[in-house]
Structure 1
Amino acid sequence: MSQGLRATEVDLGGLVTVLASHLYSTPLVALRELVQNGHDSLTRRRLEDPAHPGAGRITVRGDRARGTVSVEDDGAGLTEPEIHAYLATVGTGYTRLLREVTGSDELIGAFGLGFLSAFAVADEVTVTTTSHREPAAGHRYRSVGGERYEVAPVPPRAPGTLVELRLKSEHAHVADEDVLREVLTRYCVLLPVPVHLGDDPQPLNAVPVPWRLDPQPADPQQARTAFAARFGRRFEPLATLPVTPRGDSDATGLLWVQDGSTYGTSDNRDLAVYLRGMLLSEDARDLLPRWAGFVGGVVESARLTPTASREDLQRDDHYRAVQAALADAVVDGLYETARLQPGAWRRILARHGQELLGAALCDDRLFALLADDVPVPTSQGDLTAGALRAAGGGTVHVALGSSGGFEEMLYRAMQVPIARGDRYAVLPFLRRYGQLRGCRVVELGSEDGNRALFRDPDRPLAADEAAWLSAALADDGEQLVPVRFAPAELPLVLVPDREAELKQRIEDDRADARIPGAALRLARAFTARTDGGVTARLHLNLDSPAVRSLLDAYRAGHPGAATAAGLLRSMKVVMAAASGEGRGDLTGALAALGDAVAALTAPAPPAAPAPTAPAAAPAVATATATTATATATDHGEDTV
């Protein structure tokens, strides 16, 4: 038998605790909520009483000695039924009803929950109010803890509302004037009504908002820069990028390029979002493109939908429209900066060149703007892609390994800059640049790139010559490759096998623990074609006079061939140490170098003295010496 429907019971005390203490990320949000309520009260009065001449104001006071904070407005006020219906009922609010009736976008409140935030910082909340509809009646609401409340009549005051908070001991610092000024300046900067701290006649939000100025100042850029300098929390602005409504986005505001060096994937996006003039989120970075890690800003919108705590945004169609609009604003703003502010553009490129490389890959318009201007790190310092191509004779050269290495030494000898392909976004940027400009990109360290640099010899070495050179010059794991390359003065170049390096890294036990399983399987599949046995290739330059002389000495059986080969081998190890590759025994190579020099510079052995013939037989001695000389000559021996 059905028991029928029963009403859900609510633990009001528990609900108030959860909503007041856990709905908001910080108790300071209570100040935002109460000031917002004051704003909506002023807006309500203007909508309901158009003849009211007052512009309205909100005043916030802190009293550290008493441990209290108060928020006062001269808006619409509340009647006693409205106190019960809206102030003391969770989930309802007059603001939402008024918005539905009037369609006004100026009202901020939506959920009827904001007043509960007062209990996150206060033990006791008192509201003294007089409605503009009943100016002869005053009422006072009082609640301790938010679970129970009382309403009592009091002498009327001028229409409006005064909210007083008796702070909890752990939040007593909120009453400090410096704390109030800092928090309210951040929360209220875009509110259209003046917010005063105590008796200060200057409103906290008396800040010129560039996109609201009408008419626009003679120098709008100066006004934008001043605003950005004030609200850039971590970095000074290098250039400002206006945000205007476009498409389905109503967002307006200002973005700026921050004067803070960034690199690669560092994310310094810093965006504050205001909803109808009240701060909603100080960290809305996801509204900016992921590649815009160097951008900060302030934007406002009336269409974005807040979450219940009003500290985040719902990811709906309006959210996505604002995302697209801000991406356009960054690209358009950078383009205009490059066109109209060359000095600022140079500073942007100097500060954010590395990150702009990656940003350009994410947006075709940005790539077209940056292709010839953005700096690329090379062996000769930062160069634009255009300068890199010109220095390479129409070819862009990129090293796939880390900075340094024999690749860089080779290019330095050729006096050609080499881009550092191991740096963030450099390699994909230059690949795309090559496609855009129709130029060749040589990737040194890859098989194709190496073939472009090292030409095959006119004729192969004999097997015994190749075996002797390999034994004399190559170390374990190094493969001797006889080739021809420029400059001829460079006898040899050792190029590490980058795939073998990768294989060694990913097979390391520690790498196994760091790399996710799927990524590790992919990396191992990529390196499966190499067994890791050859770790480097020693390219021997057959155009080099030194190498040709070494081969001639070997073919002639010259006893100095081994010493000369030892010199080249030592040179290889010293070059490796200088280039950062760290291959071979540097101490042993230096010792061998010294031994070779000593052998080549050793004095010739002294000549043996000629034999002295006995005085009694001079003719026979002379004949014998002549015969010995002739015999030695016949056998091809050197005479002494």
Structure 2
Amino acid sequence: MTQTIHKETREFQAETKQLLDLMIHSIYTNKEIFLRELISNASDAIDKIKFESLTNQDLLEGDSNFEIFLIPDENTKTLTISDNGIGMTYDEVVENIGTIAKSGTKSFFEKLKEKETTTDNELIGQFGVGFYSAFMVSDKVTLITRAPGQEKGVKWESNGDGTYTIEECDKEKRGTTIIITLKEDFHAPSRPEENFLERYTIENLIKKYSDYIRYPIKMSFIKEEQPLDAEGKEIEDAPAAETVEIRTLNSMTPLWTRSKNELTKEEYQLFYKDLFHEWEDPMEYIHSKAEGTV
């Protein structure tokens, strides 16, 4: 029998507190990139279990349909990002979320001083602090995760005040779920471009930043259809019937299958960064197409 770990409150290390303060007080202008960072983390988690399952199929627990799922909820003002990747144990959550490697943090703050010549995108991704970008748009972040083979999951929660709570919890499926309770500024209907509960805003951000992610990024849409009569014609006065439609938001289409003429410089750069897990733009790129047999 495993020992139950009760809920406890811990403090972030000093460097993490400083980073959270920077995120919360918004040094970054391009706040929408938080979604790109969290989806990139989810993709990495799936990469990891896919690789490790090559030598241990039991890790999959019967679930090999890898995907990332987004759930915007108007009632709770939350945006949820879920994956069925490798997940984390209790100790891994403390190590990976509660702290940041000091060497990486030091480099981050050194680069921050040179921000005039460094973009938001480079800073956040380059030093492995992408998870914390969620605090730019949230009042509270909740993480629920379970590693394969573990009886219990782990629930981590913080409102960015320098402390976090961590406890065991029940979680049926392996993987990680991040629930972002959005600040009021980021679910205002009057500003659809920064309303991260607006499904079409989310869809556009996925196409902009995460279209080349190798796994399907899915989200449900409410579809309204007018009832039809016996002749197949719409019944005008009848209330529309609502159905739920699950859509895949990213194309998962490699650049080499598309025409050179329809691609932009930004698409080449984003594809390179995602494929090779790099944060700098490529020095140069060449697009060529050849046909024949090998």
How many Å separate the matches in 1 of 2:25 and 2:100?
A: 15
Correspondences of 1:290-439 after superposition (within 5 Å): 302=276, 305-306=278-279, 313=280, 319-320=282-283, 323=284, 325-326=285-286, 329=287
Secondary structure in structure 1 of the residue aligned to 2:82: strand
How many Å separate the matches in 2 of 1:159 and 1:206?
A: 25
Counterpart residue type for residue 133 of structure 2: S
How many Å separate the matches in 1 of 2:97 and 2:16?
A: 15
Structure 1 residues 190, 150: closer, same or farther in 2, change over 3 A?
same
> 152, 156, 170: which one pairs with 2:185?
170
Secondary structure in structure 2 of the residue aligned to 1:174: coil
Secondary structure in structure 2 of the residue aligned to 1:85: helix
Contact 1:21 1:117 in 2 (8 A): no
Structure 1 residues 272, 170: closer, same or farther in 2, change over 3 A?
farther
Residue by residue over 1:554-604, the C-alpha shift from the partner in whole angstroms, topping out at 9 and shown as x without a partner, is: xxxxxxxxxxxxxxxxxxxxxxxxxxxxxxxxxxxxxxxxxxxxxxxxxxx
Q: Which has the higher helix share?
A: 1
> 241, 251, 261: which one pairs with 1:206?
251
Corresponding residue of 1:195: 217
Cα drift, residue 112 of structure 1: 2.9
Q: Report the RMSD for the aligned CA atoms in angstroms.
A: 3.0
2:93 equivalent to 1:89? no
Structure 1: runs of 5 or more not aligned: 1-8, 93-108, 214-222, 225-239, 242-253, 257-268, 279-300, 307-312, 334-640
Structure 1 residues 190, 168: closer, same or farther in 2, change over 3 A?
same
2:2 equivalent to 1:28? no
How many Å separate the matches in 1 of 2:247 and 2:218?
A: 7
Contact 2:212 2:251 in 1 (8 A): no
Corresponding residue of 2:163: 148
Corresponding residue of 1:129: 145
Residue by residue over 1:406-435, the C-alpha shift from the partner in whole angstroms, topping out at 9 and shown as x without a partner, is: xxxxxxxxxxxxxxxxxxxxxxxxxxxxxx
How many Å separate the matches in 1 of 2:64 and 2:270?
A: 25
Residue by residue over 1:42-88, the C-alpha shift from the partner in whole angstroms, topping out at 9 and shown as x without a partner, is: 11111222223603100011112321100001111110000000022
Secondary structure in structure 1 of the residue aligned to 2:270: strand
Structure 1 residues 185, 46: closer, same or farther in 2, change over 3 A?
same
TM-score computed with the length of structure 2 as normaliser: 0.65
Contact 1:64 1:175 in 2 (8 A): yes
2:80 equivalent to 1:70? yes
Corresponding residue of 2:106: none
Corresponding residue of 1:3: none
Secondary structure in structure 2 of the residue aligned to 1:201: strand
Cα drift, residue 202 of structure 1: 3.0
> 46, 57, 60: which one pairs with 2:50?
46
Corresponding residue of 2:208: 186
Secondary structure in structure 2 of the residue aligned to 1:139: strand
Corresponding residue of 2:176: 161
How many Å separate the matches in 1 of 2:253 and 2:19?
A: 42
How many Å separate the matches in 1 of 2:266 and 2:254?
A: 18
How many Å separate the matches in 2 of 1:87 and 1:141?
A: 9
Corresponding residue of 2:225: none
> 14, 20, 24: which one pairs with 1:16?
20
**Which structure ranks higher in relative contact order (CA pairs < 8 Å, sequence separation ≥ 6)?**
2
How many Å separate the matches in 2 of 1:133 and 1:183?
A: 34
How many Å separate the matches in 2 of 1:164 and 1:154?
A: 15
Structure 1 residues 11, 202: closer, same or farther in 2, change over 3 A?
closer
Corresponding residue of 1:454: none
Secondary structure in structure 2 of the residue aligned to 1:115: helix
Structure 1 residues 29, 196: closer, same or farther in 2, change over 3 A?
same
Cα drift, residue 275 of structure 1: 5.0
Taking only the aligned residue pairs, the percentage that are identical comes to 21
How many Å separate the matches in 1 of 2:154 and 2:245?
A: 28
Secondary structure in structure 1 of the residue aligned to 2:156: strand
Cα drift, residue 32 of structure 1: 0.8
Counterpart residue type for residue 148 of structure 2: H
How many Å separate the matches in 1 of 2:131 and 2:251?
A: 26
Structure 1 residues 48, 178: closer, same or farther in 2, change over 3 A?
same
Contact 1:190 1:277 in 2 (8 A): no
Contact 2:139 2:159 in 1 (8 A): yes
How many Å separate the matches in 1 of 2:48 and 2:266?
A: 33
Correspondences of 1:609-624 after superposition (within 5 Å): none
Cα drift, residue 270 of structure 1: 5.8
Secondary structure in structure 2 of the residue aligned to 1:191: coil
> 120, 131, 153: which one pairs with 1:115?
131
Counterpart residue type for residue 112 of structure 1: G
Cα drift, residue 271 of structure 1: 5.3
TM-score computed with the length of structure 1 as normaliser: 0.32
Contact 1:71 1:164 in 2 (8 A): yes
How many Å separate the matches in 2 of 1:276 and 1:20?
A: 30
How many Å separate the matches in 2 of 1:32 and 1:181?
A: 12
How many Å separate the matches in 1 of 2:156 and 2:162?
A: 13
Residue by residue over 1:349-400, the C-alpha shift from the partner in whole angstroms, topping out at 9 and shown as x without a partner, is: xxxxxxxxxxxxxxxxxxxxxxxxxxxxxxxxxxxxxxxxxxxxxxxxxxxx
Structure 1 residues 255, 183: closer, same or farther in 2, change over 3 A?
closer
Cα drift, residue 209 of structure 1: 3.7
How many Å separate the matches in 2 of 1:159 and 1:34?
A: 17
Structure 1 residues 147, 81: closer, same or farther in 2, change over 3 A?
same
Contact 1:91 1:112 in 2 (8 A): no
How many Å separate the matches in 2 of 1:47 and 1:85?
A: 22
Structure 1 residues 210, 88: closer, same or farther in 2, change over 3 A?
same
Corresponding residue of 1:244: none
Residue by residue over 1:440-461, the C-alpha shift from the partner in whole angstroms, topping out at 9 and shown as x without a partner, is: xxxxxxxxxxxxxxxxxxxxxx
How many Å separate the matches in 2 of 1:210 and 1:175?
A: 30
Cα drift, residue 166 of structure 1: 0.5
Q: What is the number of residues matched between the two proteins?
A: 220
